[in-house]
Amino acid sequence: MKEEIESINPNLILALGNTALEAVTGRKGIQNWRGSIISSKWGTPKVIGSIHPANITRAGEDHDEEKGTFSFIYRTILKLDVKRAIDESSNKELNLPTRILRTCNDSLQLYRFIRDGNAKGQVYIDIETYSSTLPVCVSLAFSRHSAISIPLVRRVKGQIRRGKKVYQTEYKICERSDSESAEIWRQLDELFRNNYICGQNIKFDKEKLELIGFKFKGVKSDTVVKAHVVNPELPKFSLGFLGSVWTREPFYKEEGKEFVYGRDHIDNLLRYNARDSAVDCEVDEELDVDIRELSDQFKLDLMSYFEYKMKLYPIYEEMERVGFKINEPRSKELKSKYEADLETEYKGLVELVGKEINPNSWQQVSSFLYHDLHLPKPYSRKTTSGTEEKVLTKLLNKLKNDRNGARPTKIIESILRCRKQNKTISVYIDFKRDYDGRGRSNYRQAGTETGRSSTSVLKEPIRKDKTGFAFQTLTKHGDIGADIRSQFIPDDGFVYVNIDKSQAEVRVVCVLSENYKFLERMSKIDSHRRVAAFALGYCDKFDIMSDTHEVADAIGKDSPDRFIGKKVKHAHAYGMKKFECAGQINKEARKLGLNIDISEWKAGNMLDRMDIAMPEIKGIFHRDVIDCLHATRTLITPFGRPRQFFERFGEQLYKEGYADIPQSTVSDDLKQGMIRVDEWRRRVKAPIKVGARKVIGFAFNGEAHDANLFQMPIGEYQDICKEIKPLLEQPIDFNQCSLRRNYQLVIPVDFEVAFENYKEFQKLKV
């Protein structure tokens, strides 16, 4: 191969796939090195690696990068890598970005760097931590060309293991006097207080620095959020990935990941730290260029949209900081209850199986179901075990018509119940409390392609051990949901107030489908009952105009039928097929403890009846979405948020398109309301009179797509709710939407208050 390359004498080699990359560079890990301009193992020619096209060809809905199948967005990433290879092939020189990366040795050097840097109101920062806790160093960059890393401590304590013994040791970071350290900290604090900070996932860096005393003016830019605004379909938002797309900096992130205290020289970590800030600055500047281009292309003010997203930063920080007070006696009571239920359920499972089996072991469950019982394994591209919940639920549907399926059905149902109870204990009851005993969640603004946030537990590098829970996964339905929520209690002197956007996505779909009659009637009738009555075949006509409906009104508020009506309406609006609709209804019902078992035939029949009830969904809404996707591959929401789609044309792409505008619009409507409430609260921060009472302050406690949770003072929550209600019910103008409608939609909000815990809510009339 080397002789053949020498005979061709190319300027550059495009290495497609991990095998090719390793052959010509000796490096492994195509996901890390793709897009990087590097030397071959012979020095020349240059090499750029990228994903092998075959991996993208095989990719589909069930992609798995660890198994070598990539989502279709990587087709665009491959095109960018090929374009870079073509540009670089014009010469043999390895011309990489030149950056001056310094290590701060004293306060005078830092003073000169800050003085010469000309902050212009903002500075890019990045930190490295020791044991996911202590900030060891912080880097500063005022441009992409120069950065400095400043050690914050002189040494850190650690442990070394020799055999079975563990010894205490110290790792030296730098040498300087107390007065020098104090002056460096003073200069940094002055810089942070007087300039906005920028960075990649900057919330993490800011929180860690605040823990050791630094104060900040605010956050100006986060490249994770900005990249998500530019292209929400990116497969990753790490600095390594963003740098590979928006800069020519070769992959360097292993320098930090592989650094070991006591083994490697500390300068390696400091240089890596400085490079992060400089690269992040370049990424941010290049993203600004893309934002301007997208704004011109779609006639939008996308920079204003990004700035609105950055206004959410302090609100999400507040949610994470406030967390939840936990009623520990109640938590222990719940743990004992569910452990007893789990023990009883497990004994029943062992009796059914005839031997010991671990329901959480996919190997044991797979072996028993498909080897011992000879059950047919449901097909799934994403799994080989056949033991995931949705796979077992699908298997249950097949077994219900089998004469010999009674015992396997009972076994599978018992396995699922055991798993559910075990998850309830470990994830929602016995989770690790934070250092102050509270339960917390980590919020990610760039959580989904539609712009919705997502939540997760706190783990490295945020916390050393997994801590807290994912707030948005807490269900409020069923016995388990109520039990879990009962352990969370408001702080002394406060109540929980939940503010929910009423049937928000359905209302947006009504506007997009121009079904204004249904939209108007939603505030006067229970639409879930009306849909259920017709979809389930209880009546021959879909009637929404009558104020009363004998059949629909007989359906109970918490009945399985009303639940089905709600779910089938959602499935129809978002273009689900009958097998998806049946699977989702059965899975959600199982979680809530509802006795529901919908076959694919029944789901298909309900969807067909929904076509009759709401022909506007497919005839207007779905048609217009498909037309926009074929014309531009882009959908723009009423709030001016564009999303370019990169999936193959087909049902999967269309379904993503159907969901995008409703989900994104509701999310932005809720968040814009959060900002207005926060600004109002800041204006009245000092105690003032609202009505007949004084407002002394309230806190954001949680956000879940179409609802906000607050903690409000006991004596003032009603007055506060009256003030913020109009701030949350602002009109949404659909005239700048891709599916332009001359309509101003106001989504009403419902208020609930809980005095004792997060479970016992009652309606609050405002």
Concatenating the DSSP letter of every residue in 698-758 gives -EEEEE-SSEEEEEEETTTHHHHHHHHHHHH---EEGGGSSS--S-EE---EEEEEESS-S
Q: What is the mean pLDDT of each run of 10 residues along the chain (766 residues)?
A: 91 95 94 94 93 76 65 91 96 93 95 90 95 91 97 88 80 92 97 96 94 95 97 94 96 88 91 97 98 95 96 94 95 95 94 92 90 77 68 79 80 91 93 94 92 93 91 80 91 94 94 95 91 94 92 88 93 93 85 80 95 96 97 96 92 94 97 95 65 66 93 92 95 95 96 95 93
Would you state the structure tokens that stand for residue 347, as one six-digit string?
């004994």
Would you state the structure tokens that stand for residue 587, as one six-digit string?
């899975």
Contacting residues for 97 by C-beta, under 8 A, at least 6 apart? 144, 247, 248, 249, 282
Ordered by start, the domain boundaries in the chain are: 2-88, 100-310, 325-432+475-489
The H or E element spanning position 205 is helix 202-211
The pLDDT score that the predictor gives to residue 62 is 57
The H or E element spanning position 682 is helix 651-683
CB 642 within 8 A of CB 291: no
Buried-exposed string 117-136: b where 16+ CB fall within 10 A, e elsewhere:
beeeebbbbbbbbbeeebbb
Contacting residues for 67 by C-beta, under 8 A, at least 6 apart? none
The H or E element spanning position 530 is helix 527-535
Would you state the structure tokens that stand for residue 225, as one six-digit string?
């959020």
The pLDDT score that the predictor gives to residue 106 is 94
Q: Where are the alpha helices (DSSP H) in 212-326?
A: 223-230, 239-246, 254-257, 266-298, 302-310, 313-322
* Domain 100-310 homologous superfamily, CATH: Ribonuclease H-like superfamily/Ribonuclease H (3.30.420.10)
The pLDDT score that the predictor gives to residue 378 is 66
* CA atoms in the 13 A half-sphere facing the CB of 58: 13
Query: Whole-angstrom Cα distance, residue 31 to residue 50?
Result: 8
Would you state the structure tokens that stand for residue 402, as one six-digit string?
């089998």
The pLDDT score that the predictor gives to residue 690 is 45
* Domain 2-88 homologous superfamily, CATH: Uracil-DNA glycosylase-like domain (3.40.470.10)
Query: Whole-angstrom Cα distance, residue 144 to residue 98?
Result: 9
Query: Whole-angstrom Cα distance, residue 50 to residue 12?
Result: 13
Work out the number of other CB atoms within 10 angstroms of the CB of residue 623.
14
CATH of domain 325-432+475-489: 1.20.1060.10
The pLDDT score that the predictor gives to residue 66 is 64
CA max distance for the chain: 89
Q: Residue 209 corresponds to which amino acid?
A: L
